[in-house]
Amino acid sequence: MTILSVLHKDHINLNRLLDVLRAKVGKLRAGTRPNFRLMADAVDYISEYADRHHHPLEDQLFAFFEGRDSRLDELMRQCTAQHRKLHASSHELSDAIDSILNDTLMPMDQFIDMLERYVDEQKAHIDFEEAEIFPGIDQVAEQGDWIKLDEQLPKNEDPLFGENRSEQYVELYQALVQDMKA
């Protein structure tokens, strides 16, 4: 399994979680109050996993292939800039959820719009990587590159979707399974 396969699998899992958050947007607009603690856990997972595992893997991947194609180099720079923006929006949304959990007044329409923007930005970023970055890397890669990369990259266990789920995300995983069944 190449690093692109691992990152693609991450994208599938992140999209599942983003689909749940998008459903929460619809429920919020309909007047239903969701479990904000679980929503906080979902946003925390997306942010933490991206910042600690997913994006660092991509950074190493980008560094490995940098200089092979000028168009790809520009796309990778754009992607890295998107990572910084997504990091900021994750923390902004997390702060908003924490405010709600701490009974700080926040207009619900403003929060719903923020959540919807967050989901849209995350999904657009994943789509960009899947449509532009990964195929570009695949085109410039040589067979031996995947072996070299595999030796260099750390092996990370996904704390939500992996075999050994983190205690921190057990309730989130169970809620995600329930949401997918509903």
Per-residue pLDDT for the chain (182 aa), expressed as one digit of tens each? 688 988 998 899 899 889 889 988 998 999 988 888 888 888 988 898 888 888 988 999 999 999 999 999 999 999 999 999 999 999 999 999 999 999 888 899 999 999 999 999 999 999 999 999 999 999 999 989 998 988 887 666 655 555 555 565 556 666 665 655 55
Could you give the angle at which helices 55-65 and 143-152 cross, rounded to 10 degrees? 140
What pLDDT, on a 0 to 100 scale, did the predictor assign at position 157?
62
Residues 35, 22: Cα–Cα separation, whole Å: 14
What pLDDT was estimated at residue 162? 55
**With contact defined as beta carbons under 8 Å apart, do 46 and 11 qualify?**
no
pLDDT at 177: 58
DSSP line for 19-55: HHHHHHHHHHHTT----HHHHHHHHHHHHHHIIIIIH
Domain 3-181, CATH homologous superfamily name and number:
nmb1532 protein domain like (1.20.120.520)
Q: How far apart are CA 89 and CA 114, in angstroms?
A: 9
Domain ranges of the chain: 3-181
> In angstroms, rounded to a whole number, what is the distance separating the alpha carbons of residues 163 and 5?
17
Q: Which two tokens stand for residue 34?
A: 């969701």
pLDDT confidence of residue 156: 64
CA distances, 93 to each of 8, 88, 169 (Å): 25, 9, 18
CA dihedral for 124, 130, 133, 136, sign (positive or negative): negative
Token readout for 164 is 């050994």
What is residue 158's DSSP assignment?
-
